[in-house]
Structure 1
Amino acid sequence: MLSVKDLVVNYGAIQAIKKVSFEIHTGEIVTLIGANGAGKSTILHTISGIMRPVSGQVTYLDRQIQKVAAPRIVQAGISQVPEGRHIFPGLSVQENLQMGAFLRKDRRSIAQAYEDVYNYFPVLKQRRHQDAATLSGGEQQMLAMGRALMAAPKLMLLDEPSMGLAPIFINEIFDIIRAINAAGTTVLLIEQNANKALSIADRGYVLASGEIKLSGTGQELLANTAVQQAYLGG
């Protein structure tokens, strides 16, 4: 579905991503793990068109997209759930969800998308007329995920979905990620909680200093001594 090959991305004079290559197959959950500053979010921003690479290729469904504008990437079926959620305060829950469907025209399919989101996140239906800024952190994360789903993505990019959440919300968010994937959406997950990420991932890549250092199935990386010592507290 998605192939990243020899990707190089700079922040000013700093080379943040150094010839990174990886791939995602349709139906998978793939995770990128690594310390803060490793370059994980930069990779997501480059895939979604927010940043431009210096060199390298991003190929999605057999089409190179590294120079494609972000709205067209969303139209093609890639949606990003940003780190920090970035919901729209002053707008209701329903209005925030509506923003996720701004490129869609079919009213019937949009109506079905609302129902799908509310099935995943019943609390959002209960609070659909409430100002999104008044939601708890966990509810705002659900809203950010629901907003991305409103675009009917084939591939969802999740950037630190558990950051700052209470443990009860973390478990619920990861259960929902698995449910979204089981319903047919491919997932690329960036997550500081490496144990949780690898436990649900089909495959994973370990990123350090802008380079891929290790790769394997989620279970292989969970069992890897170097990964345990660096990221799992082992």
Structure 2
Amino acid sequence: MSLLEVKDLSVSYGAIKAVTDVNFYVNEGEIVSLIGANGAGKSTTLLTISGLIKAQSGQISFAGNDLFKQMPSQIVANGISQVPEGRHVFPGLSVLENLQMGAFLRHDREEIHADYEKIFEHFPVLKERRNQDAATLSGGEQQMLAMGRAMMARPKLLLLDEPSMGLAPLFIKEIFRIIQQIQKEGTTVLLIEQNARTALAIADRGYVLETGKITMTGTGTELLNDPQVKKAYLGG
């Protein structure tokens, strides 16, 4: 059984249909990339999985549980964390306090402290700046903090929305290396990314979303080599 299964999902903003009859699944242990142009419905799909947007129709199940019956806090508690587009770190709070916010549903204090150290192993710059206001970090450092904050909830499934947006090439390379490391350590990843080439290169499988509908699917390699995908998203 798939860890995450999305069936016939439709989401509208008033009269505007953002997502129409979308179907896809994510197996445990995979990196799955969802690619498409701006406005294709990618972020809407993730926000609906997280319970932050209400679906018009369809079904989303996670580990066999119906997510439509759960509040966003329950969805986090059951194992889904999202790193939002634009990072959205908490200004006025330190790096360490932002990480604490990621663990707000947990009560295992000793293990929380152990997880801080694990995050600092992934992102050494965050340890150096742990007492610094998160708003004063660079864009790449804020992205690392947003990912670390999400991982503090110990998710089974990590939702990543445009993690490379606005970052310098060196930071992008590091972010994608860490995504692969997170997967190797046992976290399943659903990745939305405008940098389609890099996203598909690390993906086990991928889906192409166009104007709210899934139009193609395949392994990451298959989509990288598909002439239509190359023309539309890879600049070739």
Task: Please give the TM-score of this superposition, normalised by the length of structure 2.
Answer: 0.98
Tell me the amino acid that sits aligned with residue 228 of structure 1.
K
SS of aligned partner of 2:209 = strand
Quick check: 1:52–1:67 contact (8 Å CA) kept in 2?
Answer: no
Q: Distance in 2 between matches of 1:75 and 1:95?
A: 19
Q: Kindly report which structure 2 residues correspond to 1:13-28, keeping only aligned pairs within 5 A, or say none.
A: 13-28=15-30
The partner residue of 1:210 within 209, 212, 220 is 212
| Aligned position for 1:40 | 42
SS of aligned partner of 1:31 = strand
**Worse-matched range after superposition: 167-176 or 107-116:** 107-116
User: How much has 1:69 moved relative to structure 2?
Assistant: 0.6
Q: Distance in 2 between matches of 1:68 and 1:21?
A: 20
Identity over the aligned pairs, expressed in percent?
Answer: 66
SS of aligned partner of 1:102 = coil
Q: Kindly report which structure 2 residues correspond to 1:142-153, keeping only aligned pairs within 5 A, or say none.
A: 142-153=144-155
User: How much has 1:139 moved relative to structure 2?
Assistant: 0.2
Q: Distance in 2 between matches of 1:213 and 1:205?
A: 8
Over 2 Å off, 4+ runs: none
RMSD of aligned alpha carbons: 0.5
Quick check: 1:49–1:67 contact (8 Å CA) kept in 2?
Answer: no
| Aligned position for 1:123 | 125
Q: Distance in 2 between matches of 1:15 and 1:150?
A: 34
Cα shift readout 1:192-227 (whole Å, capped 9, x = no counterpart)? 000000000000000000000000000000000000
| Aligned position for 2:58 | 56
| Aligned position for 2:234 | 232
Size of the aligned set, in residue pairs, is: 234
| Aligned position for 2:80 | 78
| Aligned position for 1:164 | 166
| Aligned position for 1:106 | 108
Cα shift readout 1:170-213 (whole Å, capped 9, x = no counterpart)? 00000000000000000000000000000000000000000000
SS of aligned partner of 1:96 = helix
| Aligned position for 2:11 | 9
Query: Does residue 139 of the first structure (1) align with residue 179 of the second (2)?
Result: no
Tell me the amino acid that sits aligned with residue 8 of structure 1.
S
**Worse-matched range after superposition: 193-202 or 109-118:** 109-118
SS of aligned partner of 1:30 = strand
User: How much has 1:67 moved relative to structure 2?
Assistant: 3.2
User: How much has 1:12 moved relative to structure 2?
Assistant: 1.1
User: How much has 1:108 moved relative to structure 2?
Assistant: 1.3
Tell me the amino acid that sits aligned with residue 124 of structure 1.
L
Task: Please give the TM-score of this superposition, normalised by the length of structure 1.
Answer: 0.99
Q: Distance in 2 between matches of 1:61 and 1:230?
A: 34
Tell me the amino acid that sits aligned with residue 220 of structure 2.
G
| Aligned position for 1:174 | 176
SS of aligned partner of 2:68 = coil
Tell me the amino acid that sits aligned with residue 221 of structure 2.
Q
SS of aligned partner of 2:112 = helix
User: How much has 1:15 moved relative to structure 2?
Assistant: 1.1
